[in-house]
């Protein structure tokens, strides 16, 4: 090792020249403390000053799956931008919900769903969409006849599920991704809004990069739908405003926040 480099690495213990026998062989296991220290010095001297890792670019390319956009949300239509007071109140309410979830986490984890409720597997995207949104919304059926029966009431099941399954981090992120994917091509519904709120409440901070990208994507999609809302449905506008508010102000994505009206 060069003297200049050695000066930058202060010695923690004083080690002087070792008084060793002439037949000292550094290739055999050390027999005394002096032989051990001498062997360490020899090995350190053989280490190169700079080491370059050999990286296969093809392996890195396969793992680059997280894309984070820096584009912001579209401004709210005139007259539909929420006030700062309203946004602050929603953040306070949301924080209280999250605290309640954390307080009773162990209790809810031990609860069992009703026997007629079958939860999809984590990787079953279509199963989760159907479970969360219900058969009517999933199948895009406007109304059901009296004789039609599309299975259990998944909306009621979601109330139970929101207290137990979303507490698993892997499930929360997966289901959130499935629903945001659905929302990217479909209209906003109350069923979707309830589940998005529940899943956001179960996200743990600090956010993982994947979750960070997902919620930003969600807020931008909400702003796009809000602008295209022709009838200016106040209830739906309020729901979209709420999601944008939580993403931007609770999860600290301030560049996506609505300017107070």
User: Which of helix, strand or coil describes residue 258?
Assistant: coil
How do residues 20-52 score in pLDDT, each as one tens digit? 777 778 788 888 877 888 888 788 778 887 878
Highest CATH level, class, for 82-254: mainly alpha
Q: Which helix (H) or strand (E) holds 82?
A: none
Q: Decide if 192 contacts 198 (C-beta within 8 A).
A: no
Residue that has been written with the tokens 């929603």 in this structure: 90
Where do the domains of the chain lie? 82-254
Give the model's pLDDT for residue 59: 67
Q: Using the structure block, give the residue that is written with the tokens 């690495």.
A: 9
| Element at 109 (helix H, strand E) | helix 105-109
Q: What percent of the chain has pLDDT over 90?
A: 21
d(CA 151, CA 116) in angstroms, rounded, equals 10
Question: How many Å apart are CA 91 and CA 251, to the nearest integer?
Answer: 10
* CA separation, residue 243 to residues 140, 216, 218, 231 (Å): 23, 10, 8, 20
Q: How far apart are CA 192 and CA 200, in angstroms?
A: 12
169-201 pLDDT per residue, tens: 678 888 899 999 999 988 888 889 888 998 898
Q: Is the pLDDT of residue 123 over 90?
A: no
Summarised one tens digit per residue, pLDDT across range 199-256 is: 898 888 888 899 999 999 999 999 999 988 776 667 888 999 999 999 999 999 989 9
8 Å CB contact between 180 and 221? yes
Cα three-residue angle 251-255-258, rounded to 5 degrees: 90
For residue 27, CA distances in Å to 21, 23, 70, 101, 128 come to 15, 12, 57, 61, 62
Residue recorded with tokens 């924080």: 95
Q: Write down the pTM of the prediction.
A: 0.63
Does pLDDT of 152 surpass 50? no
The pLDDT-based confidence of 147 (bands split at 50, 70, 90) is very low
At 149 the pLDDT is 44
């Amino acid at each position: 090792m060069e003297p200049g480099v050695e000066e930058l690495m202060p010695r923690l213990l004083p080690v002087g020249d070792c008084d060793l026998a002439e037949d000292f062989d550094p290739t055999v296991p050390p027999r005394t403390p002096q032989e051990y220290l001498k062997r360490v010095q020899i090995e350190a001297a053989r280490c190169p000053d700079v080491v370059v890792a050999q990286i296969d670019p093809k392996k890195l390319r396969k793992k680059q799956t997280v894309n984070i956009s820096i584009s912001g949300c579209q401004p709210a239509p005139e007259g539909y931008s929420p006030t700062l007071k309203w946004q602050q109140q929603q953040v306070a309410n949301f924080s209280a919900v999250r605290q309640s979830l954390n307080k009773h986490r162990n209790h809810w984890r031990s609860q069992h769903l009703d026997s007629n409720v079958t939860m999809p597997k984590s990787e079953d995207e279509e199963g989760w969409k159907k479970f969360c949104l219900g058969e009517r919304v999933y199948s895009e059926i406007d109304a059901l006849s009296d004789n039609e029966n599309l299975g259990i009431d998944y909306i009621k099941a979601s109330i139970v599920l929101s207290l137990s399954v979303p507490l698993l981090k892997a499930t929360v992120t997966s289901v959130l991704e499935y629903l945001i994917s659905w929302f990217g091509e479909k209209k906003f519904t109350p069923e979707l809004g309830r589940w998005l709120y529940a899943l956001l409440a179960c996200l743990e901070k600090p956010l993982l990069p994947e979750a960070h990208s997902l919620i930003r994507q969600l807020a931008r999609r909400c702003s796009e739908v809000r602008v295209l809302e022709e009838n200016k449905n106040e209830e739906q506008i309020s729901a979209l405003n709420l999601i944008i508010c939580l993403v931007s102000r609770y999860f600290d994505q301030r560049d996506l926040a609505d300017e107070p009206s």
